[in-house]
Structure 1
Amino acid sequence: MIDGEGRRIVSLWFSRLASDRVLRACPVEGPFVLTAKLQNANRIYCLNTAALKEGLHPGMSYADARAFCPDLQSRVAEPEQDQRFLRSLCRWATRYCPWVGLEGEDGLVMDITGSAHLFGGEEAMLADMRSRLMRVGISVQIGLADTRGAAWALAHYGEGIAPRGDTLKALRALPVAGLRLEEQMSVALQRLGLRCIGDLAQAARGPLTRRFGPGLLLRLDQALGAQPEEISPQSDPPHYAVRLTLPEPIGLIDDVMAGTRRLLEQLCTKLNTQNMGARRLCMSLRRVDQGQQQVELRLARPLRDPKRILPLFQRGLSEIDAGFGIDMLRLEATQVEPLPVQQMNHVSDGGKDKLDDLTSRLGTRIGLENIQRFLPADSHIPERSFIISPAAYSDPAETGFGAQPRPLSLFPPEPIAGSGARPPARFRWRRMALTTQRVTGPERIAPEWWLEDDNWRSGMRDYWRVETRQGRRLWLFYTPQNPGWFVQGEFA
């Protein structure tokens, strides 16, 4: 839709959206702030009214804030949760009008043309919005005007209702920042003496265009209604769920699997249209006695191939109790991830797909989190050179960070008898007499001084790969600072 004559736009600005969201769930008495890593420092991201009264402000260093307010309470900001909360507010606002969209990261824009009379007029509608939001602990500033730009300016700097057809009168005394300008341009206009929107509207347009470009006057014309501005409602996210109602109850596993196949084909078609893949599926089965059972399937990788997904449902569906029969099936993808189209070629094989399917099958029995793999870590210390991660939520690494090979079996250092800086010719390890045949090394590894590790307080180590005549291939190290030999691993 485009702004035009007779249109009325509402702008809602939630100046403390992040802190209000947190305090609704966990109320706090006194000053409270949310912090985030900004400009290489821990700074205030959002704060409540009590913190504002103490002289704190967004962008302030958290250390300085604690100096001003010793009893300050804080939590780490979660911008993703804030945006999810804002989208829920967007859905709530559709009770007033169908045209509701997001305005930046902390606001909403609403086209209430033709709907204000349903709530007793514009003033009554805005009062109802404010009272409902304040009742649940959400602070808001509201502006209403003929244009989107004017409503935004009133919400941020004036908070009021602009009369119909006379937008300039309501905006005249507001600062030029109300035109949604960049901070640098706003400061430059104030230095020229153009501090208010009324001053800017009366200034010559030619010099302003030559100095600041066409964007400045475009914002002014949009606010005053001389230029149109698009207003698009927030679209609902796609819902990945399909349902099958049966004319006659079924109870055999073959019939249930046949119905599941039909639902999977419909769901995967929808997923393919959106270039998405399912990571978690939930099958709901309703019996004729209104009882309901669910079978959940978690996948090791996002999928949208019904032929690969269907066999994974076999075990879960075979354990259901059909009772007197099942008359409705519902399949929903409760967790989806992007799955772009990939180019196929004649040399590719399905080895990775088979491994993912095997992981999914095992995961239905013991849990996906219990199927793990080793991944390299950015450290030369043997004990810190790897991490353990769930296989379903990580990709295998081709190589590690170190250029030198590492033993397949790694264990705590075990001392052996030896002297000198080279591996001993003969030594005993785990009650075995071993004779050195070939050695490779040394590889010197220094301790990471920024980490506290009691096992490395003895200093650097010289590692050797030792092949013995008895067939053992061991990983030995020597400590020059405190002379001694140790075995820490064994190669395959």
Structure 2
Amino acid sequence: MFDGMQRRITSMWFPRLASDRVLRTHPIDGPFALTLKQANTERIFCLNHEAEREGLQRGITLSDARAFYPELRSCPANRVEDERFLHVLRRWATRYCPWVGIEGDDGLVLDITGSAHLFGGETLMLADMRQRLKRAGLTVRIGLGDTRGAAWALAHYDEGLAEPGKMFEALADLPVAALRMDEKAVAGLQRLGLRKIRDLEGMPRASLTRRFGPHLLLRLDQALGRQPEQISPLAEPPHYGVRMTLPEPIGLFDDVMAGLSRLLDPLCAKLKAQETGARVLCLTLSRVDKAAQMVELRLAHPLRDTMRILSLFERGVGEVDAGYGIDHMRLEATAVEPLPVQQVSYVSSGPEGTLDDLITRIGTRIGLDNIQRFLPADSHIPERSFITAAAAYSRPESLSAGARPRPLKLFPPEPISATGTRPPRQFSWRRMPLTTERATGPERIAPEWWLDDENWHSGVRDYWHVQTRQGRRLWLFYTPQNPGWFVQGEFA
């Protein structure tokens, strides 16, 4: 693409990316650190400048850091948000060139060949980068050279600009770690007295290869431009949006739904090609008076079926005020999730999709988060044997094989008058006289000793499934340590 033009690479390193990201939105005066749990120990993951000035370093335990500086403020690191923020920076960096890639967890690499003149030259371009990033509250170190390796070395060990064709002169006095070697190889080179890159240049290549493998010389040749190193720009994520301009304004419900159907066809085709499904869809209807109406549809499950999505839009579209007419329609999937292609056969179950559509319809009225389902939990204590979760963001789960049946209705234990270790022949519950016809049990459940639960201070419980002549099927338990009978549930 740039035949006859000297290739120029820029490396941006953000040494405090994680802490800078947090402090941009929540400024803190004084030393601050982010922690990360490693091997059951909280260790310092990233520090701000004030913390480093106090002598704190990455990798030390949080307890040691607080012993050294008790006023240190900290919070847990969020690697997912850090990665997302780095991708935001990558998109911002495309203002300087179209070829921008990710460099590790805290850096960017840019191929600025042929674009520096747009900013008045390389020096002014780097100055503009530093100024904008500083204004955004980010610490950055920038290196520029003919190769990716040289740019990385300058950014990490001697921030600056290498003149074209003079990579060895720019890198000769840098430590061997600037060649992107691992700590073990760097330690081995230093034991031999090879501490700087210039020391490697005069050594026999065959002996270095035998001792350290081919990777050392490969990194050296890549940094000096003897071996090519590719820069793979990160592809832009697919954009799931379609629009349509109407020749004449429309306002009838059927016309809007017909236009929506035409928008859904290409959108769903793109979702299928990417093996994704829409989770949130936003329909924007622009009117001739420049006002806009928005209809948002939150789905209970990823979906890319045109007809199913169209029917779920009916309620929202029906509430739209078309005014003097709608002349522009835009549909965008603002949230998508993976939805791989699945084999369809005559044994495939269809009710699941019907249930998801029902949850979606109800969710448009009361909110998806308000529709809950019960899921089994990993506990033999009846009160802890289930959890509630939003039905739109969870899947039904069945009980594990061999699990004992549990009552449909579970309530706090209600005492009954009875004696003995076996279920009473006759007893009264909720002012109803009942007679035991059949009893199955006992199932002994012991309290979870690692949890402090006041309801289980009485010790173990012996549970019985009792069938009464009056038709009630109850779940009774007996407490041997403090003799007593209780009813805790009723079977359907």
TM-score (norm 1): 0.97
Contact preservation (8 Å) 2:244, 2:263: yes
Q: CA deviation at 1:116?
A: 2.0
Q: State how far apart, in whole Å, the 2-side matches of 1:188 and 1:479 are.
A: 68
Residue identity in the other structure for 1:91: R
Deviations 1:332-381 (A, max 9, x none): 00100011110111221311111111111111122111211100011111
Query: Which residue of structure 1 aligns with residue 51 of structure 2?
Result: 51
Query: Which residue of structure 1 aligns with residue 183 of structure 2?
Result: 183
1:319 aligns with 2:353: no
Q: State how far apart, in whole Å, the 2-side matches of 1:82 and 1:157 are.
A: 23
1:206 aligns with 2:206: yes
Moved more, 57-66 or 15-24: 57-66
Deviations 1:123-173 (A, max 9, x none): 222122112211221111111111000100111111111122121111112
Query: Which residue of structure 2 aligns with residue 89 of structure 1?
Result: 89
- Give unmatched runs, 5+ long, in structure 2: none
Query: Which residue of structure 1 aligns with residue 265 of structure 2?
Result: 265
- Percent identity (aligned): 68
Contact preservation (8 Å) 2:2, 2:114: no
Change (3 A) 1:4 1:175: farther
- Secondary structure, in 3 states, of the residue corresponding to 1:298? strand
Change (3 A) 1:98 1:77: same
1:332 aligns with 2:332: yes
Change (3 A) 1:71 1:402: farther
- Secondary structure, in 3 states, of the residue corresponding to 2:134? helix
Change (3 A) 1:123 1:413: same
- Secondary structure, in 3 states, of the residue corresponding to 1:308? helix
Contact preservation (8 Å) 1:443, 1:462: yes
Q: State how far apart, in whole Å, the 2-side matches of 1:387 and 1:477 are.
A: 22
Q: CA deviation at 1:8?
A: 1.1
1:290 aligns with 2:255: no
1:365 aligns with 2:343: no
Residue identity in the other structure for 1:162: A
Residue identity in the other structure for 1:89: L
Q: State how far apart, in whole Å, the 1-side matches of 2:339 and 2:317 are.
A: 27
Change (3 A) 1:402 1:42: farther
- Secondary structure, in 3 states, of the residue corresponding to 1:414? strand
Deviations 1:461-481 (A, max 9, x none): 111111112211111111111
- Secondary structure, in 3 states, of the residue corresponding to 1:20? helix
Change (3 A) 1:24 1:4: farther
Query: Which residue of structure 1 aligns with residue 119 of structure 2?
Result: 119
- Secondary structure, in 3 states, of the residue corresponding to 2:45? strand
Q: State how far apart, in whole Å, the 2-side matches of 1:320 and 1:332 are.
A: 17
- Secondary structure, in 3 states, of the residue corresponding to 1:139? coil
Runs of 4+ residues over 3 Å off in structure 1: 1-5
Query: Which residue of structure 2 aligns with residue 474 of structure 1?
Result: 474
Equivalent positions of 1:407-426 (< 5 A) are 407-426=407-426
Query: Which residue of structure 2 aligns with residue 142 of structure 1?
Result: 142
Residue identity in the other structure for 1:261: S
- Secondary structure, in 3 states, of the residue corresponding to 1:483? coil
Q: CA deviation at 1:234?
A: 2.5
Q: State how far apart, in whole Å, the 1-side matches of 2:28 and 2:373 are.
A: 42
Q: State how far apart, in whole Å, the 1-side matches of 2:299 and 2:122 are.
A: 51
Query: Which residue of structure 2 aligns with residue 225 of structure 1?
Result: 225
Query: Which residue of structure 1 aligns with residue 304 of structure 2?
Result: 304
- Secondary structure, in 3 states, of the residue corresponding to 1:134? helix
Q: State how far apart, in whole Å, the 2-side matches of 1:2 and 1:46 are.
A: 39
Q: CA deviation at 1:419?
A: 1.8
Q: State how far apart, in whole Å, the 1-side matches of 2:108 and 2:367 are.
A: 42
Contact preservation (8 Å) 1:377, 1:386: yes
Q: State how far apart, in whole Å, the 1-side matches of 2:166 and 2:195 are.
A: 20
- Secondary structure, in 3 states, of the residue corresponding to 1:380? coil
Query: Which residue of structure 2 aligns with residue 72 of structure 1?
Result: 72
Residue identity in the other structure for 2:60: M
Moved more, 380-389 or 351-360: 351-360
Moved more, 91-100 or 258-267: 91-100
- Secondary structure, in 3 states, of the residue corresponding to 1:126? helix
Q: CA deviation at 1:3?
A: 11
- Secondary structure, in 3 states, of the residue corresponding to 1:443? strand
Q: CA deviation at 1:4?
A: 8.9
Residue identity in the other structure for 1:429: W
Q: State how far apart, in whole Å, the 2-side matches of 1:105 and 1:308 are.
A: 41
Q: CA deviation at 1:427?
A: 1.2
- Secondary structure, in 3 states, of the residue corresponding to 2:323? coil
Q: State how far apart, in whole Å, the 2-side matches of 1:295 and 1:124 are.
A: 46
Query: Which residue of structure 1 aligns with residue 169 of structure 2?
Result: 169
Q: State how far apart, in whole Å, the 1-side matches of 2:461 and 2:278 are.
A: 48
Contact preservation (8 Å) 1:3, 1:225: no
TM-score (norm 2): 0.97
Q: CA deviation at 1:35?
A: 1.1
Change (3 A) 1:462 1:388: same
Contact preservation (8 Å) 1:36, 1:42: yes
Change (3 A) 1:39 1:203: farther
- Secondary structure, in 3 states, of the residue corresponding to 1:392? helix
- Secondary structure, in 3 states, of the residue corresponding to 1:125? helix
Q: State how far apart, in whole Å, the 2-side matches of 1:476 and 1:323 are.
A: 64
Change (3 A) 1:3 1:433: farther
Aligned length: 492
Q: State how far apart, in whole Å, the 2-side matches of 1:3 and 1:211 are.
A: 38
Contact preservation (8 Å) 1:377, 1:400: no
Moved more, 129-138 or 141-150: 129-138
Query: Which residue of structure 2 aligns with residue 31 of structure 1?
Result: 31
Q: State how far apart, in whole Å, the 2-side matches of 1:94 and 1:357 are.
A: 41
Contact preservation (8 Å) 1:4, 1:225: no
Equivalent positions of 1:268-283 (< 5 A) are 268-283=268-283
- Secondary structure, in 3 states, of the residue corresponding to 1:356? helix
Contact preservation (8 Å) 1:246, 1:327: yes
Change (3 A) 1:379 1:449: same
Q: CA deviation at 1:207?
A: 2.1
Query: Which residue of structure 2 aligns with residue 255 of structure 1?
Result: 255
Q: State how far apart, in whole Å, the 2-side matches of 1:3 and 1:444 are.
A: 81
Query: Which residue of structure 2 aligns with residue 61 of structure 1?
Result: 61
Q: State how far apart, in whole Å, the 2-side matches of 1:5 and 1:313 are.
A: 55
Q: CA deviation at 1:401?
A: 7.7
- Secondary structure, in 3 states, of the residue corresponding to 1:58? coil
Q: CA deviation at 1:117?
A: 2.5
Contact preservation (8 Å) 2:31, 2:48: yes
Residue identity in the other structure for 2:325: G
Contact preservation (8 Å) 2:2, 2:113: no
Residue identity in the other structure for 2:11: S
Q: CA deviation at 1:388?
A: 0.5
Moved more, 147-156 or 79-88: 79-88
Q: State how far apart, in whole Å, the 1-side matches of 2:368 and 2:330 are.
A: 24
